Structure formats: structure tokens, C-alpha cells
Amino acid sequence: MAKAYWVSAYRAIKDADKLAAYAQLAGPAITAGGGRFLARGLPAEVYEFGLAQRTVLIEFDSVAQAKAVHDSPAYQAALDALGDGAERDLRIIEGV
């Protein structure tokens, strides 16, 4: 079974306090569900049409596991805490 990855790019951070509240809840929810943080922060370099925006990469054992964590009550509580505090592009992709 192929691994799966959450790729989350932050287009805009509108409220740092809401983002901090989200992070306090999201990190434990993700790791409890089997997610492993591989990278997070600003890009070291940006090419072509890339944007210098915060990006987070999380590995899961499968797409099903990644989806289950996203849809879990614990992660949904984190999203509620974030509210309109950030604009993000979150994708789940399957590894090759």
C-alpha cells in the first residue's frame, strides 16, 4: 500500500492567535492518528510560479488513514479553532 501525504500551503495568515490555537490541537490530533511531520515552515527556495508561503508536509501510511485523521473529531476541533484565521490549500496525495 502506498503512503499518503498531506501538503498544506498557507496562502495567508489572518490571525496568529487562531493559528496558534489550531496548532495546539492539530499537532496532537495528527500524530495520534499516525501522521508524521516531515517538513514545515517557509521554503528554502522558490522557483517558477512558486510562492514563499508556509508549507507543511505530513506522511501517513495510506490515503484512508490521512482522510480518517482529517475527518476525525479531534482534527475537526482544530479546524474550528482556526476558523477564518488562515487561508490554506490542503491536499492529500498518494505516494508513488
pTM equals 0.92
Who's near 41: CB < 8 A, 6+ residues apart? Answer: 54, 55
Which CATH architecture best describes the domain 4-94? 2-Layer Sandwich (3.30)
How far is residue 91's CA from residue 2's CA, in Å, rounded to a whole number? 16
So what's the pLDDT on residue 22? 97
- State the pLDDT at residue 1: 82
CB atoms within 10 A of CB 4: 20
pLDDT tens-digit profile, the chain (96 residues):
899 999 999 999 999 999 999 999 999 999 999 999 999 999 999 999 999 999 999 999 999 999 999 999 999 999 999 999 999 999 999 999
